[in-house]
A and B are shown apart, each in its own frame.
Chain A
Amino acid sequence: MTNPTIPASQNNDSGATPEKAREDLSIALSAYLDNALSASERARVTQRLDSEPEVRAELERLRELKTLLGQTPRLTVPRDFTLDATQFGRIPWWASFRTMQRLGGIGVAAALILIAAGSLLDARRPPAAPSMSRSEDGTAIAALYTQTATFESTESGAALDGIIATDSATTEDRKRGVPTIEPAEPQSAGDGSVNATAVNATATSATALKQPPQATAQASPPLQATIVLTTAAFSGAAIASPAETTSIMSAAPVTAPTEAQGTASSDTAANAETGSSSQSDQDDPGSSSIAQSTPLPTATLILTSTATATSTITATLTATATVIPITPPTETTPTASPPSVPLLQIIGLTLLIFSGMLFGVGYMRSRVRT
């Protein structure tokens, strides 16, 4: 700004300061150069250009500068700046990451509602479901949930029968090869708190044992159950050595004295039966049993019945029966039907996982995009 020596307009009728007048003239000359003045402004500048050589010189300096700046070399673009259609192409609304995010969020909410509703329904379900049946005489039925039974017989024709039975064990049970726990008659009328229950574990043949065995424990109406393992008998082909049968039934806490332990309960008619191919009946002297009564309704009974018969011809029977849990007689446990499946929770969990992934992908990608 050292250069302008433009005189302020001599006929400046606006009454402005000389600096302001020079500024106005400079702007006017600049705009005159660009042909950006109104007709009246242009006429005024033309008049001064004609009469004032300094103004003319200033205009020439501006023109020279403009020419020089107009010669400024143009740069060539180093590359095309076009946008990538795959990155910037408009995608349909349903494929946008924002939509994914929203759908995922809605799905998570719906899943949580489903899970909550399922839990609520389960909580309100009546305790006695139809599948939790009672026997005709009102005894509760406890399920034998897990059983393992292995049977090995190295001698081809030999079938081993391991029977832990009471006199109440039915023939059908034995034919099924099913270890059962069945109610027995009350042992003593005076001692009503304890009812004897016998364990009947029957293994008739190798094929029968391969089937998934079942066992039921039935308790009499009194709120206590005592499972008495009276005896166990094994008979197999040419059994010579002592076979061992162990049956353990435990319950905690123990509140009542055991009605019978082991072989003491001989009054319950221990039977030793021979198998179809057995040659001789031979009671197993090594059998032992432990039965303990339990306070129901919170008792958990674990029955482990192991019967092993070894013979000189190497016949081995191993039967394991486990009973868990035995529910109180008043609240029965399902016997045959499987536990009810929490369908709503499963659907909810599946939806939760899927929606969570959808939300996550949408959230991450939309963040990447921005």
Chain B
Amino acid sequence: MSTIATTLELSASDELLLVERAQRGEVEAFNTLVLKYQQQTYNVAYRLLGDAHAAQDATQNAFISAYQSLTQFGTGSFRAWLFRIVTNTCFDYQRRAKRRPQASLDELTEDVEVQVSPVFEADDDSPEEQAAQRALSAIIQDCLTSLPDDQRLVAVLCDIQGYEYTEISRIANAPIGTVKSRLSRARRALRDCLQSAGELLPSMYRLVK
């Protein structure tokens, strides 16, 4: 699958200017922010939901929600504010799926015929490496899905996305102490899960102990 997506690098001051312009109703300014964050947003959504198609829908809805409630953004980290909306959107999506047990996440999406498989960034790797990455991604995703929502969120934000505790605290709307304990429990559970996967993990990714 060819990708047409764009990723932008923006300085903090540029970002703030864009936010102010977007708050005045300039869609183009907001779209610049979308281009900067869509990659992270889509990845977080995918790891929270475990489904590429659902992640697409959630990402789009999250950006729409963010634009529509942009006037509520005051000061602080725009990324933290944005990802709070993203996580809320994802969990809403998940709840709707659970309320309809017969309907999978795929069926919640508008376009059920198109089966979307995740496309990884390192497409230039060798086929063996790509296969190993897909296997690792799938196993990690299975283990993440087995976690409670709050633990899955902090694990994704910290260990997969690499966010700081303070930012995670804002996104999760929880004190840092709570973030720490959730993360600790999530890591223990993930390690147990990945160890039990054992042989399923590619050899290069196997946990030693």
Q: State the A residues within 8 Å of B (CB).
A: 1-4, 23, 26-27, 29-31, 34, 36, 57, 60-62, 64-66, 68-85, 88-90
Which residues of chain A are within 8 angstroms of B194 by Cβ–Cβ distance? 65, 68
Docked-complex contact B28 and A85, CB < 8 angstroms: yes
Docked-complex contact A72 and B38, CB < 8 angstroms: no
Most buried by A among B42, B122, B190: B42
B53-91 interface code vs A (CB 8 A; 1 in, 0 out) = 001100110011001000000000000000000000000
B112 at the interface (CB under 8 A from A): no
Given A3-B192, A81-B34, A83-B34; A30-B28 close (CB under 8 Å): no
Most buried by A among B6, B122, B187: B187
Nearest Cβ on chain A to B129's Cβ, whole angstroms: 10
Docked-complex contact A65 and B191, CB < 8 angstroms: yes
Pull 24 A–B residue pairs with CB atoms less than 8 Å apart, ordered by A: A26-B184, A27-B181, A29-B184, A34-B158, A61-B191, A65-B187, A69-B159, A72-B160, A74-B39, A74-B120, A74-B122, A75-B119, A76-B39, A76-B119, A76-B121, A78-B1, A79-B4, A80-B34, A81-B38, A81-B41, A81-B63, A83-B63, A89-B25, A90-B24
Given A70-B162, A80-B38, A81-B38; A30-B5 close (CB under 8 Å): no
Complex Cα distance, B7 from A354, in Å, reads 49
Docked-complex contact B181 and A81, CB < 8 angstroms: no
Nearest Cβ on chain B to A115's Cβ, whole angstroms: 40
Q: B187's contact among A30, A84, A89, by CB below 8 Å, is which?
A: A30
Q: State the B residues within 8 Å of A (CB).
A: 1, 3-6, 24-25, 27-28, 30-31, 34-35, 38-39, 41-43, 46-47, 52, 55-56, 59-60, 63-64, 67, 116, 118-123, 133-134, 136-137, 140, 155, 158-160, 162, 164-165, 176, 180-181, 183-184, 187-192, 194-195, 205, 207-209
Which residues of chain B are within 8 angstroms of A70 by Cβ–Cβ distance? 159-160, 162
Which residues of chain B are within 8 angstroms of A1 by Cβ–Cβ distance? 188-189, 192
Which of chain B's residues has its CB closest to A86's CB? B27
Docked-complex contact B34 and A69, CB < 8 angstroms: no
Which residues of chain A are within 8 angstroms of B136 by Cβ–Cβ distance? 68, 71-73
Complex Cα distance, B1 from A15, in Å, reads 59
Q: A64's contact among B28, B133, B207, by CB below 8 Å, is which?
A: B207
Q: B183's contact among A30, A76, A85, A88, by CB below 8 Å, is which?
A: A30
Complex Cα distance, B181 from A29, in Å, reads 11
The dominant DSSP class at the B interface is helix
Q: B39's contact among A2, A30, A77, by CB below 8 Å, is which?
A: A77
Docked-complex contact B39 and A4, CB < 8 angstroms: no
Complex Cα distance, B34 from A74, in Å, reads 18
Nearest Cβ on chain B to A246's Cβ, whole angstroms: 78
Docked-complex contact B5 and A74, CB < 8 angstroms: no
Q: A73's contact among B31, B52, B134, by CB below 8 Å, is which?
A: B134
Docked-complex contact B120 and A73, CB < 8 angstroms: yes
Docked-complex contact B25 and A75, CB < 8 angstroms: no
Given A31-B180, A70-B159, A82-B34; A75-B187 close (CB under 8 Å): no
Complex Cα distance, B209 from A76, in Å, reads 32
Docked-complex contact A88 and B67, CB < 8 angstroms: yes
Nearest Cβ on chain B to A20's Cβ, whole angstroms: 12
19 more A-B residue pairs beyond the given contacts A64-B208, A74-B122, A76-B119, with a C-beta to C-beta distance below 8 A? A4-B188, A26-B188, A27-B181, A57-B209, A64-B209, A65-B207, A69-B159, A70-B160, A70-B162, A73-B121, A74-B43, A75-B119, A75-B120, A75-B121, A79-B4, A80-B4, A80-B34, A81-B60, A89-B25
Which residues of chain A are within 8 angstroms of B34 by Cβ–Cβ distance? 80-83
Which of chain A's residues has its CB closest to B133's CB? A73
Docked-complex contact B184 and A82, CB < 8 angstroms: no
Which residues of chain A are within 8 angstroms of B67 by Cβ–Cβ distance? 83, 88
Docked-complex contact B207 and A77, CB < 8 angstroms: no
Complex Cα distance, B209 from A4, in Å, reads 12
Complex Cα distance, B77 from A193, in Å, reads 101
